[in-house]
Structure 1
C-alpha cells in the first residue's frame, strides 16, 4: 500500500456557494473565501455594473440608474441561470444597493423571478440575509453603516428597507472614509464605527455594501463594544451556508463574529 498523501485538489467539497458580483468587484469573492472552511468553495458569476470602471474605479458617489439596471432583466437572469447550471448548493447575490432602491416588495419580485432560473437551488441576497441575521441574533436596534460611495438618498432608502422589515434603525449614513475600495482599511473602518456609531447603542451594526472591506473588523469590535457586528459579505455567506444545508460548516467559523455560532431561525429572511 502506498504511503503517498494525495494533495487536496478542490474536488471534494462539503458545500459550494455561487455568488453573482459586479464585473469589476473582487470584494465579495475575496471575503467569502477568507471566511470559508477549507472544504467550502466559492464560485463567482460576473455581471456588468455601469457604475464601475476597469480596475474597480468608481465615482465618489455612484449614480442610481446603474443600481436599478443591475437587476433588470435579462442580464441578471442569464447570469443566475448560468451559475445555477453548475453543481452548486446555494446562490448569493453579492450586491446591496439594488434592494435599497426597489424596496422590500421589489426585492421579493426580483427573487421570485430569479428562482425560476435556479433549478431549485436556493438563492439569497445581502439584505435578505441581513434581516435573517438580525432575527437570529434577536437584534432589534440596527445601526446602518453604508459605503462612502452611497449618497444620503441611497442610505435613506436602505434605512427604509430595514424599517419596513420591522427593525428599528437608530442610525444610518455613508461612512466618512475615502470613496475608493483600495483605500479603506479595517483599522479605519473600526475607528469610524467606534467613534461615530457606538454611541447610538445598537443591538447590531451592519456594514452594508459588498464592495467595502469589512470582515476583518468583526471580531475585534464585538469583543470591544459588546454589540453584534454584521457585514454584507458575512451575513450573505452565513445565510448561503444555511440554505446550502451546511449549517455545521457555518458553526465552525469562529473568527468572523457571533453570528456564525447562532442556531436560531427561521432563516428565510
Structure 2
C-alpha cells in the first residue's frame, strides 16, 4: 500500500517592497509536509498611502488567483495594515477576507484577521499597544480601526515616543531592519507605561519576534501578541501542522 503523504501547498502574498521572511520562518518552526511559494502584492511602486491601501482588493484577488493557479491550497497574506485599512473596521476586514477567498476559491488568511483572531484567543481587555515604527498618523488610524473592539488601551508608544530613535526619519532610514535589543527595549518601555495591562499587542510585521518572544514574556509576566507570530499561528491552524518549538510564546503553544 502506498502511504506517502501528499504535501499541502501554501501560497503567500508578500507586501510590496518587502523581502519577506515568513515562509522561511514557518518552515523552521513547523512539523509537516508543506511546500510553499509566494508572490508580491501589486502595484509596482506602491506608496503605502492610506488611499492606496483602501484600493487593494483587486490586487489581493489577482495575487490570490495567481497562487491558486500555481497549485496553492491555502493562501496567507503578509502586512496587517493592508487588511486593516482596506477593510476599515474589524468586521470589514473579515468581510474582505471572505470576498478574496470567494474570488480565488481556497481559504485565505489576511494578516489583519489573523491578529483579530489571536486577540480573541487571549480574551484580554487591558492592552499595552506597541507601535514601534508607526508615525502619529498611522497610530491614530490604527487606534480608530480597533476602536470597535472596545479594548482598554493602557498605553500606545512608538520608538520615537520612547526616545529609542530621535525622529521618524531615523526610523524610516532603517527600512524595517531593527535589532532584537531595540525591539525588546521598546516592549519593556511600553509595558512599564501600562502596569495594569493584561497583554502587549505589537502592531506591524516589520518587527520580528520569534527569537525573543519567550524571554520577553517570561520577563514581563504577560503574553505578547506580535503580528508575525499571529500569522504563524493562523497558518499552523489552517494547515493543521504542529509547532516544533514549544518555547515561542503563549500564542504558539495554544
Is TM more than 0.5 here? yes
Give the counterpart of 2:155 among 171, 190, 197. Answer: 171
SS in 2 for 1:216: coil
Q: Which has the higher contact order (CA 8 A, sep 6+)?
A: 1
Number of aligned positions between the proteins = 237
Residue 229 of structure 1: CA displacement?
Answer: 1.2
Residue 171 of structure 1: CA displacement?
Answer: 2.3
**Structure 1 unaligned runs (5+)?**
1-10, 53-57, 263-269
TM-score by length of 2: 0.79
Whole-angstrom distance in 2 between the partners of 1:31 and 1:66:
29
Give the counterpart of 1:25 among 7, 18, 24. Answer: 18
Give the counterpart of 2:180 among 170, 180, 186. Answer: 186
Please list the CA deviations of residues 81-135 of structure 1 after superposition, one character each: whole Å capped at 9, or x if unmatched. Answer: 111234444221111112333222432342232022232x221222211222122
Answering whether residue 119 of structure 2 is matched by residue 134 of structure 1, we say yes
Please list the CA deviations of residues 154-182 of structure 1 after superposition, one character each: whole Å capped at 9, or x if unmatched. Answer: 21222233331343332224333533235
Whole-angstrom distance in 1 between the partners of 2:36 and 2:204:
19
Give the counterpart of 2:63 among 79, 103, 116. Answer: 79
Whole-angstrom distance in 1 between the partners of 2:16 and 2:6:
26
TM-score by length of 1: 0.75
In structure 2, the residue matched to 1:213 is 208
Whole-angstrom distance in 1 between the partners of 2:217 and 2:6:
31
Residue 222 of structure 1: CA displacement?
Answer: 0.6
**Structure 2 unaligned runs (5+)?**
166-170
Whole-angstrom distance in 2 between the partners of 1:109 and 1:156:
23
In structure 1, the residue matched to 2:168 is none
CA contact (8 A) 1:219 1:256 kept: yes
Whole-angstrom distance in 2 between the partners of 1:36 and 1:12:
16
